[in-house]
């Protein structure tokens, strides 16, 4: 559990595992732009984008639930303008961490590929809209 002095082991484990996976996602997409989609490095780093994104989404939901459970025990941001900026920054990051995967799910739902992380089909490919 978190306490007023420091974040607990679970919070730190969630934080750093998500940081590594988000970093992997960024490096993978940057490598596709920098060296091309067909380059072996891009294929390795970007080839797991869907699966890593799925794991990240689950970790984000777990992290939000854990933060809610520990909301009264978490260290204070302090007072003043810097503390307000920290709260605003964290709110923006959490919002983006939820919205980006949700938009990816919505996009996948409307595409012709469907969504099958780790080979498990969560929803089938969309049928083309005849317009």
pLDDT in tens, the chain (131 residues): 888 888 999 999 999 999 999 999 999 999 999 998 899 998 888 888 889 999 999 999 999 999 999 988 888 888 899 999 998 998 999 899 889 988 888 888 777 778 888 888 888 877 766 66
Give the whole-angstrom CA distance, residue 92 versus residue 99. 10
Of 112, 116, 114, the residue nearest 127 (C-alpha): 112
Give the whole-angstrom CA distance, residue 104 versus residue 127. 18
Question: The whole model's pTM is what?
Answer: 0.81
Give the whole-angstrom CA distance, residue 61 versus residue 97. 9
Two tokens, residue 123: 């929803």
Report helix, strand or coil for 123: strand
């Amino acid at each position: 559990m978190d306490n007023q002095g420091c974040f607990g082991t679970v919070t730190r484990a969630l934080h750093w595992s998500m940081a590594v996976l988000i970093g992997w996602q960024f490096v993978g997409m940057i490598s596709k732009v920098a060296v091309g989609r067909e380059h072996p490095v891009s294929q390795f780093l970007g080839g797991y984008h869907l699966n890593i994104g799925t794991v990240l989404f689950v970790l984000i939901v777990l992290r939000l639930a854990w933060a809610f459970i520990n909301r009264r025990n978490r260290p204070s941001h302090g007072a003043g303008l810097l503390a307000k900026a920290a709260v605003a920054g964290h709110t923006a990051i959490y919002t983006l961490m939820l919205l980006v995967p949700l938009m990816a799910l919505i996009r996948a739902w409307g595409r012709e590929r469907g969504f099958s992380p780790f080979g498990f089909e969560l929803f089938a490919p969309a049928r083309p809209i005849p317009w």
